[in-house]
Structure 1
Amino acid sequence: MKRILPMLFLLITCNFNAQEIKSPSEFLGYELGTRFTFHHQVVDYYQYLSDGAKDRVRLIEYGKTNEGRSLLLAYVSSAENMQNLEEIRKEHLKSTNGAGASSKSIVWLSYNVHGNESVSTEASMQTIYELLSNKQVYLENTIVIIDPCINPDGRERYVNWYNQYKNSALQADPNSKEHHEGWWSGRSNHYMFDLNRDWAWLTQLESRQRIKLYNKWLPHIHVDFHEQGIDSPYFFAPSAEPFHEVITDFQRDFQVTIGKNHAKYFDTNGWLYNTKERFDLFYPSYGDTYPTYSGAIGMTYEQGGSGRAGLGVLTANGDTLTLKDRIAHHLSTGLSTVEVASKNVPKLNEEFKRFYLPKNYKYKSFVLNGEQDHLKALTKLLDQHQITFSYGTGDMVKGFNYKTGRYGSLKTNSESLIISTNQTRGTLVKVLFEPNARLSDSLTYDITAWSLPYAYGLKAIASENLVNGMAKAESTAIKENSISDAYAILTDWNGMDDARFLAELYQKNIKVRQAQKPFTLEGNRYERGSLIITKVDNERITNLSAILIEAANKYQKSLTAVSSGFVEDGKDLGSKYVKMIPAAKVAVLSGMPTSTLRFGEIWHFFEQQLHYPLAVLDASYIAEVDLTKYDVLVLPGGNGYDKFLDSSMLKRLKEWVNQGGRLISMGESIAFLGGEGGFKITAKEKEKDSLEIATMVPHENLEREKMKNDITGAIFKARVDSSHPMAFGYKDTYFSLKIGIDSYDYLENGTVAYISKDTIPVAGFAGSEAQKKMGKSLVFGVEEHGKGQIVYMVDNPLFRGFWENGKLFFVNAIFMAK
């Protein structure tokens, strides 16, 4: 009897706690799945659970979104585990160093990274309730971390939109307005970025705040909950090929283990599902791949629905897919995942520790030289990922040369970066830095190349030997008296910190000149694009020195004071080749016909990277706008320009450019600017039958055959005319990320960056037929038209915000293309 009473007491206590806690439906006052829950209500429910079950739930706010909404994490486990949560975390992380004896599994569930895939936040509330009530047994040896909404801004945008347009009674007709979001959809975050492509690049506020906590835990399992088309059955692990080669056999096998457990529940309920299709594990910046490359079992779960489904929608087979159905499916896989983790604690800990054992990767070190701006930007990213690095010692390093694609050498200096795979995050280092990731299947879901030395425009060697480095000495700040009596102040032009420095000077009404040709002054050589601030241009600025020093120290810029404008070699500072750089009033087109993602990249670039004002002009009213008020108009890529760029709009744009405007045309917008009545740009003629699929190809091979005509995010080596103002700050080579097959002939004058005869990508997949179109094609160019110019950007230098080396081309297009 003495042994039975404690057990009875425990059961009574558990039942009492379960009865005390309200379900989401009870707390919210409506049945879950009958309406969408606003973000503040979701926060209230999680806060309610944290207050009401504080022994088993800990809620933290890990950040705010751009629009000020809370980003939350809920830690859920048994009362005993919660009392020792920090000790459990520390013991778990010891496994990354080959130590530790953790007896717990850690599962991280991420919901609603895409705002209009709105069911998952609803499912998260039911999932945490079930864990605290009916599934408490799972929590005895498992810590569950729940992020109920990664993208609150996007989700709230969708929920508000849906509530505005939904019918009072359930309207399942897929043609009804409530099933057709507008251009400004809820999928992306405030800046129209896809947060599920940002795990590695960390360009967005939400990603940067989340990664700090993710890397403090490094869970055994991470699930990213999604939705897809309304007619698609549920997708869960195992994933499709290609798998990156660093993914371990255990990670692959355990996906199967989890998938079989899900299938058991789906089979019982008669729910349709599929595995091993479409969603691969290759591109490193997803919510499944980044965790996988960090030792987790990373998985994507995809429920049919997305922004079209609303509260209920008719599918192609005549069934009604309801929000309640979608919640049930995500609830099932979420609980099933925790169940499998709870049943496999020893194996998960054993294999997690094994993942972090030293690896014998081919390349032991990556050594990089380049402009300080680019190196500094990269070190910032490395710090965010807890990747360690050191600096050069002056030694010569040999290995694979990224620029030449052959064996070569590079001499290090005190600024050289050395990143080794012989560290805790060594697998992630290999994935992000390897020259060309091995692709096991050309049918991929996303881009196939991203190597950071190319993305950051750095000279690089991948060495098969471990290269030792040293710590870097601290830099010293510039003092005001070093420039106060100067004739002019000079600084270089090589990267984004230089651009930010210029943008800040514009905000302070400081006039800046630019060298069109190289020159030597007082023993120092200055390249094209160098910035020149003269006292005579800024006589009305009483605190010029203080402003320059403050801006220079802010962006770690080196300033050189000169006492004369008389150069030893080149053109004097008063020459016509030393031009004033006027501040530009910039506008960008939004709405249809642009892509929200492409628009968002530009918007984010100006506001969060360059810190320069930008006017947003929507296509719905731009015909009424006086364009002469703007110096620059940017047309983002998008698929609706066939209707927007009609003869009337094209004529208007030509007249504006002719009067001195600068039109920057990006991506798909270029295709509709040429031809009769347009500008001089011409699409390359495709070779006869080069894009036609052979008639005798078996039906089952058609999809793969079509890949011959595709480029899935490959890196191409481009030549650069570094004497052109749009290329100031660049050398003779630029590695461009190409995400499509559009190609255009060289411009007669103004070809800035181009692909020559060699069309084989240095990294990533490009189909054999697609490669034929790339020969002698334009990457960037400037066409003079009257008093103005049109800038063509065939490839997108702002793609997802991570192609650091392309950004200065865009800045040059804004300020220096003349």
Structure 2
Amino acid sequence: MVMLIINNKYLSDGQVMSINLKQLANQCISHVFRSFFVVTLLFGVSAVQANSDTRINQLLANSAIDQTITTPEQHLGYPLGEWHLRHDQINQYLRKLDAQSERTSLDSAGFSAERREQLSLVITSKSNQQNLAQILTQRAKVKQGDESQAPLVIWLAYSIHGDEPSGAHAAMAISHYLTASNDAWVKQLLEQAIVLITPVQNPDGFDRFSTWANNHRGQTLVSDPQHREHKQNWPSGRGNHYWADMNRDWLFLRHDSSQGRVAFFHKWQPHLVGDFHEMGHNRSYFFQPGVPTRVHPLTQDKNQQLTNELANFHRKALDEVKQVYFSKQRFDDFFYGKGSTYPDINGAIGVLFEQASARGQQQHTDSGLLTFSHAIDNQFTTSISSLKGAMALKTKLVDYQRDFYQGKQTKTASKPKGRLVSTKGDSLRLIELASLLEQHQIQFHYLKQTQQHAQHQYLPQDSLFIPVKQPQSDLVKALFDKRTEFEDATFYDVSSWDMSAAFDLASVTNVAISQKQLTDTLAPWSSATEPWRESTVALLIDWQQTGAAMLVSQLHKAKIKVKFASQPFAINTAAGERSFGAGTLQIPVKQPELTSQVLLETVAKLVDKQRLEVVAVTTAMANTNMDLGSDDFKYIAEVKPLLITGRSVSSTESGEIWYYMDKTLGQPLSMINADRLLESDLSRYSHIYIADGSLNHFGDQAASKLERFVKDGGVIVAQKRALRWLDAHNLLDAKPQSTGFYRKLFDTEGLNFNQRSELRAKQSIGGAIVSLDLDLSHPINFGLSSPLSVLKNRPMAFSTVTTPFTLAASYSDNVLKSGYMAKEYQGAFSNQGAIVVERKGKGAVVALSDNLVFRNIWLGSEKIYANALYFMPGGLR
């Protein structure tokens, strides 16, 4: 991008080309620009935007600008967009604006995983700035139906995908304009509204991308779409530190950036949220309302009406700059876990914007040359139209938010009705669920006494009661939605995200519980059922508890040996006989390298953190099955897992495995790119994890190396498409169904050309929840309950499993639990294999048809990865 500042006015690329060279010389232009301009003259105008003018320049040229406010160009030392920015440069600029103007202040949404602070600029009038504390107090009452005449709150949020940088750069320009402009409409805006500007919602991915793009930008710009500048390395900058899509985490809140962002949302309770993205370079520009038939049924009609009224302002603004667009195709408004839809279920209007991406400085597209400066300008244009539209519709936006929460206020009842949920004895999972609800400001209570409903005991230590009557009632419905029928079966993302399935909850609805039986405080935790005596022989820990899997790596680090039970058993305890399931951990008190006292003290410190119930026994004699000294209690060997990374596998699913190993288990995990597999010494590792992918970097040599790894005692844990590669290279006896098999399920006879999209929608599994029937005696399923709900988003099942005792899970007869899945798939998956574990020499192959750590929110099934890590291959012998 070429941009000058002459007489304190921005000049765009097109203006630069029309300026007389003598006039340029008289303006004493910088050496940087002279060099770049000479290159442009030598190599043609492809390096600049051959447009007449830009919206940014038009506004600044016709505005009364406060010259004491630093421009982005003055801050950077070069024109905005000439280089891709780093996150620290943006934060520095926000701090500079804050120091220079009484209109501005800063707010923070915390830090990213790589400790980059997520700053937002708060822009409003001086008087509003002086009353921010009072305004925020009022905003905190919004959910109670108290919508006074406080300022309108508009949140413009950009670049949640790190490789969609035009938004962040536009945010720099809009921040300067709102801070420096003395235009009448801007002054009116800031008197009546608070504008929140968040330039970057994914700092870690943003910096990964900017480094890549800048590293491959030459002095002479290259527009070839295949050029290295436009083709990022693996992983791309789209995801965060753990390669996760931050725009799919608004509901699940598994990542630090998301938690800070949602807290920021509820703090300010905005009326309007603008969510700025980029899309493929051959498209034009998009803004919502999106496809009318693909709106979640819980979203109010008034929401969509207002979105369309706002769209008229975007249409007018883009028409004025002759930018073509589309607004009612391709993108939907269904999944509430995105930045444009989360506001819709929280009393605000969320609007998605998508700009064609240059993914660098410039690219050739089907419609001509696309430049980064053009992309920035479009995002700036719709940022302005969002502000003007919000002001024009201020009364409607305020009324909508007030009406959204009207009548939802909590009313004290002697026996309120609600949803009762249980984590089935797992206290740590209960804490995770409670934390999720708290962050979404959902009201809930703990139990004082055990409740019995539908043959399940809801215990104080594992249960929550969520009242129906509360401000966030719509969000509660969305989180536990189980619908399977839809007006339009096309989904941009998942069609279901039922939290009772993700957390593997026992649940009952429409229960009335006396207020006397409810409390807002979780009971204090005690790790031991009784004091550990000097005569203690062993400590037993039920594997059903989430924290049990987290404990294993800590025990190994402390040089404490631990076993697992390969069968259920019963044993006498101080409280009487007690039954334990397969997978139960046994920590023998007598160990060679530690005294009993040191061991017990060490374990006591570790288990408190994981909220683990520990049972001390004073005898090794069991009442049923095997005694504690039996060979059926197997030592868990220290493990050294390896994750295959690189272009041949999914970065998001690889990142989910990494997250689980790192943040959940605390287990060191090595990562090696697929193209380095042949040069790597695999004997250093105990397990190899392979996420969904084509494995096109793997050849016959890689297959031979992996076969030797398994036969020598290693374990391969692979999922989804990787299974087809294993099958093709004779590393898997069970046969996953081919892609061709699933295509033939759909009858295309008689379909006309316009029915192609409908057929594609049926053939797609965007994300539905299905049921698995587990063999609970198999070590891969220890600690789980059957049936088990998992998220399925790819056609995959085993057609043939001939080896006995290898089928660990099958899809249930009535396979679909919630979401959309074509009838053809439901019939094809029913009773087919889902999880297979095969012995190979001294090792094993664990084959998973689905991703069981989906977005790291599927806490009900993630334990299968720990079972593979700690119980394989020993549990198969």
User: Match of 1:275?
Assistant: 327
Residue aligning to 1:578: 633
Give the CA deviation at 1:438.
5.6
CA offsets, 1:704-740, max 9 Å, x none? 1233323221111110111111111012211111111
Whether 2:720 is the aligned partner of 1:667: answer yes
Of 482, 494, 501 in structure 1, the residue corresponding to residue 532 of structure 2 is: 482
Q: Could you tell me which residue of structure 2 aligns to residue 175 of structure 1? A: 226
Give the one of 627, 633, 649 matched to 1:594. Answer: 649
Does the 8 Å contact 1:112/1:151 carry over to 2? Answer: yes
Which of 420, 431, 435 is equivalent to 2:467? 420
The Cα of 1:409 is off from its aligned counterpart by: 6.7
Q: Is the 8 A contact 1:453 1:459 kept in 2?
A: yes
Deviation of 1:602 after TM superposition, in Å, equals 1.2
Name structure 2 gaps, 5 residues minimum: 1-61, 411-415
User: Which AA in structure 1 matches 2:316?
Assistant: K
Q: Structure 1 counterpart of 2:540, which letter?
A: L
CA distance in 2, matches of 1:556, 1:484: 23
Give, as a single letter, the amino acid of the residue that structure 2 aligns with 1:413: L
Distance 1:423 1:805, change over 3 A: same
Secondary structure of the equivalent of 2:591? helix
- Among 644, 654, 669, the alignment partner of 1:614 is 669
The alpha-carbon deviation at position 481 of structure 1 amounts to 5.8
Residue 429 of structure 1 corresponds to 476
One-letter amino acid of the structure 1 residue matched with residue 229 of structure 2: E
1:771 matched to 2:771? The reply is: no
CA distance 1:623–1:473, shift in 2 (3 Å): closer
Give the whole-Å Cα distance in 2 for the aligned partners of 1:726 and 1:314: 51
Which of 255, 273, 291 pairs up with 1:204? 255
Q: Is residue 2:577 matched to residue 1:531? A: no
Offset from partner CA, 1:119-139 (integer Å, 9 cap, x none):
111000111112221433321
**2:178 pairs with 1:123:** no
Q: Within 5 A, what are the aligned runs for 1:660-809?
A: 660-675=713-728, 677-684=730-737, 690-745=744-799, 747=801, 748=803, 749-759=805-815, 761-809=816-864
Measure how far apart 1:487 and its partner are: 0.7
Matched, 1:303 2:355: yes
Distance in 1 of aligned mates of 2:743 and 2:351: 41
What is the match of residue 189 of structure 2? Answer: 138
What secondary structure is seen at the aligned counterpart in 2 of 1:806?
coil
**Cα distance change, pair 15–225 in 1 and its aligned pair in 2 (3 A):** closer
Residues 567, 354 of structure 1: CA spacing in aligned structure 2 closer, same or farther, 3 A cutoff?
A: same
Q: Cα gap change, 1:467/1:710 in structure 2, threshold over 3 Å: closer, same or farther?
A: farther
Between stretches 769-778 and 38-47, larger displacement belongs to 769-778
Query: In the alignment, what sits opposite 2:35?
Result: none
* Whole-angstrom CA distance in 1 between matches of 2:819 and 2:409: 23
Hey, what's the Cα distance between the residues in 2 that align with 1:707 and 1:432? Answer: 24
* 3-state SS in 2 of match to 1:275: coil
Counterpart-to-counterpart distance in 2, 1:397 and 1:559: 25
Partners of 2:288 and 2:452 in 1: CA distance = 42
Structure 1 CA distance for aligned equivalents of residues 623 and 212 of structure 2: 65
Letter in 2 for 1:656: F
Match of 1:341 in 2: 390
Q: Quick one: distance in 1 between partners of 2:492 and 2:399?
A: 31
Q: Comparing 40-49 with 255-264, which one deviates more in the overlay?
A: 40-49
Residues 105-157 of structure 1, C-alpha deviations (whole Å, 9 max, x = no match): 10111111001101111000111112221433321101111111111111111
Instruction: Name the CA shift for 1:746/1:356 in 2 (closer, same or farther; >3 Å).
Output: farther
Structure 1 pair 484–186 and aligned structure 2 pair: CA distance change class (3 A): farther
CA deviation digits over 1:654-679, x for unaligned, max 9?
11101111011112111111146432
- Greater displacement, 228-237 / 352-361: 352-361
- Where does residue 655 of structure 1 map in the other structure? 708
Contact 2:163–2:359, Cα closer than 8 Å, also in 1 = no
Q: Which residue of 2 is the match for residue 263 of structure 1?
A: 315
Q: Secondary structure at the match of 2:631?
A: coil
Choose 430-439 or 588-597, whichever is displaced more: 430-439
Match of 1:11 in 2: none
For 2:611, the aligned partner's letter is Q
2:145 to 80, 93, 98: 98
Residues 301-325 of structure 1: per-residue CA shift (max 9 Å, x gap): 10000xx5311111112x2111111
Q: Does residue 279 of structure 2 align to residue 228 of structure 1?
A: yes
Q: CA deviation at 1:746?
A: 5.4
CA–CA distance in structure 2, aligned partners of residues 741 and 381 of structure 1: 30
TM (norm. structure 1) is 0.92
Partner of 1:50: 98
Post-superposition CA distance 1:262-284 (Å, at most 9, x none)? 10111111111111222211112
RMSD: 2.3
**Deviation readout 1:176-211 (Å, 9 max, x if unpaired):** 221211222111111101100011111111111222
* Aligned equivalent of 1:403: none
Contact 1:636-1:665 within 8 A present in 2 as well: yes
Q: Which secondary structure state, in structure 2, belongs to the residue aligned with residue 620 of structure 1? A: helix
| Amino acid in structure 1 at the alignment position of 2:468 | T
Letter in 2 for 1:61: S
Is the deviation greater in 479-488 or in 622-631?
479-488
1:216 aligns with 2:270: no
Report how far residue 496 of structure 1 moved.
Answer: 2.6
Which amino acid letter does the alignment assign opposite residue 168 of structure 1? Q
CA contact (8 A) 2:485 2:820 kept: no
Q: Provide the identity percentage.
A: 28
Residue 478 of structure 1 deviates from its aligned partner by 4.4
**Deviations 1:338-357, CA, capped at 9 Å, x for gaps:** 11222232222221011012
Query: Residues of 1 paired with 2:780 and 2:397: CA distance?
Result: 53
Change (3 A) 1:466 1:20: farther
**Which ranges in structure 1 are unaligned for 5 or more consecutive residues?**
1-13, 399-407
2:508 paired residue number: 461
**Cα pair distance change 1:144/1:466, threshold 3 Å:** farther
Q: Are the equivalent residues in 2 in contact too, given 1:243–1:440 (CA < 8 A)?
A: no
2:544 is the counterpart of 1:494: yes
Aligned to 1:402: none
Give the deviation of 1:397 after TM superposition: 7.5
- Aligned-partner residue type, residue 329 of structure 1: N
2:127 to 80, 84, 87: 80
Deviation at 1:379, TM superposition (A): 1.2
| Aligned counterparts of 1:691 and 1:701: Cα–Cα separation in 2 | 17
1:509 corresponds to: 559
- Following the alignment from structure 2 to structure 1, what is the Cα–Cα distance between the partners of residues 867 and 116? 35
3-state SS, counterpart of residue 820 of structure 2: coil
What corresponds to 2:622 in structure 1? 567
Checking the alignment, whether the CA contact within 8 Å between 2:109 and 2:257 is kept in structure 1 is: no
Instruction: Please name the residue that 2:429 is paired with.
Output: 374
Aligned to 1:7: none
1:147 aligned to which of 174, 193, 198: 198
Q: Given the alignment, which residue of 200, 208, 218 partners 1:157?
A: 208
Structure-2 residue corresponding to 1:35: 83
- In 2: Cα distance, 1:301 partner to 1:595 partner: 26
Residue deviations 1:209-259 (CA, integer Å, cap 9, x gap): 222222111111111110000111111121223111221122111101110
3-state SS of 1:277 partner: coil
Hey, what's the Cα distance between the residues in 2 that align with 1:276 and 1:194? 24
Residues of 2 paired with 1:92 and 1:654: CA distance? 61
